[in-house]
Amino acid sequence: MDHEKTGANIVLGVGAVVWNEREEVLLIRRRNPPRRNEWSMPGGKVEFGETLRAALAREVREETGLEIEIAGLIDVAELVRDARAGAEDAHYVLVDYCARARSGEPIAASDASEARWFSLAEIDALALWSETRRIIAESVRLRDRMSCPPAV
């Protein structure tokens, strides 16, 4: 199917499982679709000419005010034409990284209506998109191997 005829588009985005020194994960409540009002990892769209890592650092800073240290790539998630999530005419390709907050406490801004740290037990109790849950779980599995989160 030709995406130009359907109005559909491909969106490249980045996201981060951001850890703090208490081994908690930063989540934001999304202000905009897709997945509006749901808890998610901070991140957003990659701008033309921007590297993935630069986009990630910028998006986390814009949404939470935090500066991060990026440890490594976790995996890629996709959201394809999901009307329930608010993405009926889009294919999102989301490149997810593991990172550590360098300083400060998160303050919701930009595309985030809330930003806060969650323990893994608290995350287990949240209603999250299955891919968000999978990426966080993968970060937990990979953190020793790839120094994620990196030592403070």
- The C-alpha angle 152, 46, 14, rounded to 5 degrees, equals 45
Q: Which of 114, 122, 131, 138 is catalytic?
A: 114
Q: Confirm if 149 and 99 have CB atoms less than 8 A apart.
A: yes
Question: Which amino acid is present at 98?
Answer: C
Least Cα distance to 78 among 32, 13, 128 occurs for 13
Is 114 among the catalytic positions? yes
Enzyme catalytic residues: 114
